[in-house]
Amino acid sequence: MGDIFQEVTDEIRQARLLRLWARYGRYLIIILVGTVLATAGKVGWDELQTRKMIAESARFSGALQLTESGQHEQAALSFNLLASESVTGYGQLAALQQAAALAESGKADKAIAVYDKLAGSADTDPIIADLASVLGAMRLLDQGLSQEAITKLEQISDGRGPWKHLAKEVQALSIMQTGDMEKGRNLLEILANDPTVPAGIRSRSGKILATNHGNLH
C-alpha cells in the first residue's frame, strides 16, 4: 500500500497550483478583469483605477518570483498582503498563491484554512472558489484526511464546472486512500477512458491504473 500512495502522491502533485497557474492563469485573470470591468462600468473607470490594476499586477508578479526562487515564507507574506489590500480582483489569485506558498513552507493546516476561507466567501468568483476547494482537498489528501477530502469534492465532482474532472481524480485517489481500491479504480477507469476529460488527467489516471494494476485487485 505504501508504494501505491507514493505513486499517487507523485502523480497528484503534478496538478499543484503553480502548474495549474501555468495552464489556467491567463484564463483566471481574464475572468477577474472582466468582473472588475463590469463593476467599473457602473461607477466609472478612470485613470486611478487603471493605475491600481497595474500596481497590483506588479506586486503579484513580484510575489510570484519569490515563490519561483524558493522563498515560500516571504512569498506567503507578500501574497497575504496583496489578498487583504487588493481592490481590483488580484486578491483572489493572491489568496490561491498564498495557500500554495504556505503549503510549500510546511504549513499545510494554514494553507487549507486559506483555501477554505476563499472557497467559502460569497465574494469569490465561483470558478476560483471551486478551484480553492479542489486544491484544499489535495492538501487534505496529502495529510491523510481522505474522508474530509471526499466530502469537500462531492458537489464539484457532480457539477458542470471546469474543475469537475480534477475533482473526480482527487476524489478517486482519496477513496483509494480509505482502502476502497475497487471503487477508486472504477472512477479512475472512467476518467482514463472518457475523451471529454483533459488529456493530463486521462494520462495520470491511466498511469496509476497501469502501475498499480496488480495491487489494486
Per-residue pLDDT reduced to its tens digit, 153-205: 999 999 888 999 999 999 999 999 999 999 999 999 999 999 999 888 999 89
Q: Which of 35-39, 88-92, 209-213 has the highest mean pLDDT?
A: 88-92
| Angle, in degrees to the nearest 10, between helices 126-142 and 108-120 | 150
pTM passes above 0.85: no
Q: What distance in Å separates the CA atoms of residue 194 and residue 22, rounded to the nearest whole number?
A: 24
Report the distance separating Cα 212 and Cα 204, nearest Å: 12
State yes or no: pLDDT of 22 exceeds 80. no
Long-range contacts formed by 9-15: CB under 8 A, 24+ apart: 9/142, 11/204, 11/207, 11/208, 12/138, 12/141, 12/169, 12/170, 12/173, 12/204, 14/200, 14/204, 15/138, 15/166, 15/169, 15/200, 15/201, 15/204
Give residue 47's pLDDT: 64
Question: How confident is residue 209, by pLDDT bands cut at 50, 70 and 90?
Answer: confident
Q: Is the pLDDT of residue 3 over 80?
A: no
Of 173, 203, 200, which is closest to residue 187 (Cα–Cα)? Answer: 173
- In order of start, what are the domains of the chain with their CATH numbers? 2-211 (1.25.40.10)
- DSSP assignment, residue 161? S
- Across residues 94-118, what is the average pLDDT? 93
- Coil, strand or helix at 147: helix
Would the pLDDT of 216 be above 60? no
